[in-house]
Copies of this chain bind each other. A is one copy, B any other.
Amino acid sequence: MPTREEFPKDDQSGRFAYEGLDRVIHEKARLSILTSLIAHPKGLVFGDLKQLCGLSDGNLSRHLQVLAEAKLVEINKAFEKNRPQTTCRITAQGRKQYLEYLQVLEQVVRDAAAAGTEIDKPGIIPRRLFPA
């Protein structure tokens, strides 16, 4: 007799597929960039963003380009004290898509927590995500 679990066949198709996990956002470096930018809605200069994300110049440039092409961030090049300065900002569309992505991410956490009491004990996953 198999020890695998039985589950109802109906309505389970794609139950854990997480289609909403947009790959443009989900990639680790880009998730890091977007979370930095959503936490700093007025924008960040390239050097500060690089520091917050712990990325190299090349990696940050490459991933910013992907995000800009997807219209999730906007990049402005200007001069400050006669030196070129690149500023990055999340767009309204980027904010919207990031929030949609975040809802799916929370579903992953809920699904994992629903798995059992062992995973759902204090210190592993807090009962309240936002303590009062």
A-side interface residues toward B, CB under 8 Å?
Answer: 2-5, 7, 9, 12-19, 21, 23, 26, 28, 31-33, 35-36, 38-45, 48, 51-55, 78, 80, 85, 87, 98-99, 102-103, 105-106, 108-116, 119-120, 124-130
Q: Can you name 5 A-B pairs with beta carbons within 8 Å?
A: A5-B43, A16-B39, A106-B125, A113-B129, A129-B129
Complex Cα gap A16–B102 (Å): 15
Leading 10 A-B pairs by shortest Cβ distance: A17-B54, A14-B54, A16-B36, A129-B129, A4-B43, A5-B40, A5-B42, A39-B115, A16-B52, A38-B115
Complex Cα gap A78–B112 (Å): 28
